[in-house]
Amino acid sequence: MNDTEKIGSLQKMIDSTENICVFTGAGISCPSGIPDFRSANGLYNEKTNGNYSPEQIISHSFFVGKTEMFYEFYKSKMMYLEAKPNDAHIYFADLEKAGKKVSVVTQNIDGLHQAAGSTDVIELHGSIHRNYCMSCGKSYDAAYVKNAEGVPKCSCGGIIKPDVVLYEEPLDENATMRAIEKIASAETMIIIGTSLVVYPAASYVRYFRGKNLVLLNMSSTPYDNSADLAIYDDVVNVVHKLRHS
């Protein structure tokens, strides 16, 4: 099947189903200027202070033991407050506005799906936009954290922690259950911009029982053989083709 046929096939799948689940990873936000994790220019290949890997720095134990160094990395490498939704985020929000039942299950913490207008978004790994005081529970927005000098502190003096799932921390049980429910009930599932190697989130794909499983990624994934359609391209390119097909 050539590229044009693949786009046509994807369009038919979208047109013929009402209940669509979009499962997204870092790749959908790369066109918005947010780096992914595992590519050559990704977050995990960043140079860091000292001999710590990015995975070590964004772990729970590192946050507790070296909070200042954690925030130095987190604020500069993981908080992109100027980023705007790109055409892919907007496309799926527009599908919802057009009357489709579109749920989004995302591994991203950037909030761009909501900024684009999607209303049914499950954030498996939390969000940079929610932050709370570990002492009194008071909430703070992302700008407060980003602009704070060193470790962000609450008005009560407590340390503020982002509502982001760090390494060594479990996923939120409520988010997990809702994600599985959305995946299991969808007729079409479109997986975008994820290598599908981060567990447990990647394993949720196994709960899909619908008609069309679509993989839309720059490179192959462990689930390619299970997919009804696999397209290797930038998601924004694909969306532009869909809009003009």
Nearest to 215 by CA among 63, 10, 78: 10
Catalytic, 113? Answer no
Strand order in the sheet with 121-123: 121-123, 101-106, 19-24, 188-192, 212-217, 229-232
> Which tokens in the block code for residue 200?
């447990």
Q: Which of 89, 113, 125, 129 is catalytic?
A: 125
Q: Are 158 and 136 in contact (CB under 8 A)?
A: yes
Give whole-number Cα distances, 85 to 53, 88, 136, 149, in Å: 29, 8, 33, 28
CB-count burial class (<10 Å; 0-12, 13-18, 19+) for 150: exposed
> Which tokens in the block code for residue 24?
């997204």
Q: Are 205 and 227 in contact (CB under 8 A)?
A: no
Task: Give the catalytic positions in this structure.
Answer: 125
